[in-house]
């Protein structure tokens, strides 16, 4: 496993971090699939026992159970002491000022720990930054730090680059967590955000490196592009190497859902050449070609985070976008249309959308969800058994 310095905090963390937003699930037909705890414990313990020292979770992940699952997984075998845990609280979970401390206390209980290594304000948006300041959240986080309940202060961000810079330079943050992958190089905080964080000595943690897993999918057209390169690598390896290349990045979060994915990720991040500045000019030119290809496919940039759920009308937003994107990437609509027919039978399809736009305020990718649902519906409807 490769390790990197964590900003100004001085310690090192594994370059691969495990994100706990996509843990293995049990699907019981409801729209609130539960974490498959046995599989999740096995996966998280395997990670902690095979060199991963960074785990990222949040108050809201997996219907507020992710922290508890992580806490249980790490409670035995001295694992908690060997790793760093990052977790987050969103503004919307703290409507009253008294919720701020109460939520932290609950989180500590769920994680079965006396302290949190990195405590983030979750998903600051340009529209919520003023409220974060008015509510003096940073001051509250500082009090927790002085009491030893948290060790470092950070934020996660999905807004535009201009506001990211404002927030980054507003305070002496220990870390920031931003989105970056081979397609979204200049989206949100962008590549420039990584460089700014590096200038500031602020640890930079990357989320959505595979854009919800989509960039690890080896479609024929993408693989054909990768195959033109003299060095043969799989899509997932190229996607991670694009990020490993940035010397300013301390940790790259992978939302693994299976033990096989985790083992594969560990192998990629343990390669002797998985180091900063590992991408040659011809590697970068290849990634540029792949990026242009993805941009031409016109997929919907949904990462499957589920922040938009539940829809009051039961629309299965991320499921529909994933079906549509699969159809577009694989250039084959038969199976996606059949699968969409079942969504229609369950009355969870795009035609149930009444354009209330509640979901759009919550989407970190700023997708015009109601509009894109209609795009997907037009392409996916019409399957007859
Ligand atoms: S806009 Fe449509 S999909 Fe979104 S919450 Fe409203 S009804 Fe549901
Ligand atoms: S539509 Fe947005 S909020 Fe919903 S799952 Fe996709 S990226 Fe997440």
Per-residue model confidence as pLDDT tens digits over 108-136:
999 999 999 999 999 998 889 999 999 99
Pairing of strands 84-90, 25-26: unpaired
Rounded Cα gap, residues 264 and 65, in angstroms: 26
Least confident piece of the model among 112-116, 168-172, 181-185: 181-185
Q: CA 287, 293, 295, 300: dihedral to nearest 10 degrees?
A: -110
pLDDT digits (tens, 9 = 90+) for 352-370: 999 999 999 999 989 999 9
Give SS3 for 311: coil
Residue 183: C-alpha distances to residues 165, 243, 338 (Å): 21, 12, 29
Q: How many CA atoms are closer than 13 Å to the CA of 326, on its beta-carbon side?
A: 18
296: pLDDT confidence band, cut at 50, 70 and 90?
A: confident
Ligand 2 centroid to Cα of residue 317, in Å, is 7
Q: What is the mean pLDDT of the chain?
A: 93
Domain with CATH 3.20.20.100 in the chain: 3-295
Residue 300: C-alpha distances to residues 206, 254, 262, 322 (Å): 21, 21, 26, 8
pLDDT digits (tens, 9 = 90+) for 251-279: 999 999 999 999 999 999 999 999 999 99
What pLDDT is recorded for position 31? 59
Rounded Cα gap, residues 245 and 239, in angstroms: 10
Q: What is the number of the ligand 1 atom nearest to the C-alpha of 355?
A: 1
What pLDDT is recorded for position 234? 93
In three-state form (DSSP H/G/I as H, E/B as E, the rest C), the secondary structure along 347-382 is CCCHHHCCCCCHHHHHCCCCCCHHHHHHHHHHHHCC
Question: Does residue 304 line the site of ligand 2, with CB under 6 A?
Answer: yes
Structure tokens at 211: 């854009």
350: pLDDT confidence band, cut at 50, 70 and 90?
A: very high
Q: What is the number of the ligand 1 atom nearest to the C-alpha of 370?
A: 1
Rounded Cα gap, residues 303 and 211, in angstroms: 5
Structure tokens at 43: 């996966």
Rounded Cα gap, residues 163 and 160, in angstroms: 6
Rounded Cα gap, residues 123 and 143, in angstroms: 21
Model confidence at 248: pLDDT above 80: yes
CB proximity list for 197: less than 8 A, separation 6 or greater: 7, 168, 176, 178, 203, 204, 248
Ligand 2 centroid to Cα of residue 2, in Å, is 31
Q: What is the number of the ligand 2 atom nearest to the C-alpha of 303?
A: 7
Give SS3 for 232: coil
What are 96's strand-pairing partners?
none
Rounded Cα gap, residues 369 and 315, in angstroms: 11
Helices (H) and strands (E) in the chain, counts: 17, 12
- Torsion sign across C-alpha atoms 268, 252, 64, 22: negative
Model confidence at 29: pLDDT above 80: no
What pLDDT is recorded for position 258? 96
Question: Does residue 320 line the site of ligand 2, with CB under 6 A?
Answer: no
Ligand 2 centroid to Cα of residue 115, in Å, is 31
Question: Does residue 194 line the site of ligand 2, with CB under 6 A?
Answer: no
Q: Looking at the domain covering 3-295, what would its CATH class be?
A: alpha beta
Ligand 2 centroid to Cα of residue 301, in Å, is 8
């Amino acid at each position: 496993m490769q390790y990197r310095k964590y900003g100004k905090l001085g310690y090192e963390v594994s370059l691969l971090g495990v994100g706990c937003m996509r843990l293995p699930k049990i699907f019981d037909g409801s729209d609130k699939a539960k974490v498959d705890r046995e599989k999740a414990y096995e996966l998280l313990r395997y990670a902690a026992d095979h060199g991963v020292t960074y785990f990222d979770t949040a108050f809201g992940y997996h219907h507020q159970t992710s922290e508890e699952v992580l806490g249980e997984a790490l409670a035995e075998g001295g694992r908690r002491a060997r790793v760093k845990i990052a977790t987050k609280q969103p503004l919307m979970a703290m409507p009253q000022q008294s919720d701020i401390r109460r939520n932290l206390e609950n989180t500590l209980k769920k994680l079965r720990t006396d302290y949190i290594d990195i405590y983030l304000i979750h998903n600051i948006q340009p529209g919520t930054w003023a409220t974060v300041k008015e509510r003096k959240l940073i001051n509250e986080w500082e009090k927790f730090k002085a009491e030893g309940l948290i060790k470092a202060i950070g934020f996660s961000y999905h807004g535009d680059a201009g506001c990211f810079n404002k927030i980054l330079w507003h305070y002496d943050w220990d870390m920031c967590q931003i989105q970056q992958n081979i397609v979204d190089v200049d989206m949100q905080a962008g590549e420039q955000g990584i460089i700014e964080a590096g200038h500031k000595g602020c640890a930079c943690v990357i989320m959505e490196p595979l854009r919800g897993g989509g960039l690890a999918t080896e479609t024929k057209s993408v693989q054909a592009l990768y195959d033109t390169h003299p060095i043969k690598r799989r899509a997932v390896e190229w996607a991670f190497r694009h990020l490993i290349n940035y010397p300013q990045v301390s940790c790259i979060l992978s939302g693994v859902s299976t033990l096989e994915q985790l083992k594969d990720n560990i192998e990629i991040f343990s390669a002797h050449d998985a180091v900063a500045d590992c991408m040659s000019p011809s590697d970068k030119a290849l990634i540029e070609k792949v990026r242009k290809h993805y941009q031409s496919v016109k997929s919907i940039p949904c990462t499957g985070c589920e922040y938009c759920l539940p829809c009051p009308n039961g629309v299965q937003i991320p499921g529909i976008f994933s079906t549509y994107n699969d159809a577009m990437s694989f250039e084959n609509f038969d199976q996606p249309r059949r699968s969409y027919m079942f969504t229609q039978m369950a009355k969870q399809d795009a035609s149930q959308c009444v354009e209330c736009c509640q979901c759009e305020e919550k989407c970190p990718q700023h997708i015009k969800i109601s509009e894109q649902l209609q795009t997907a519906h037009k392409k996916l409807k019409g399957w007859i058994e």
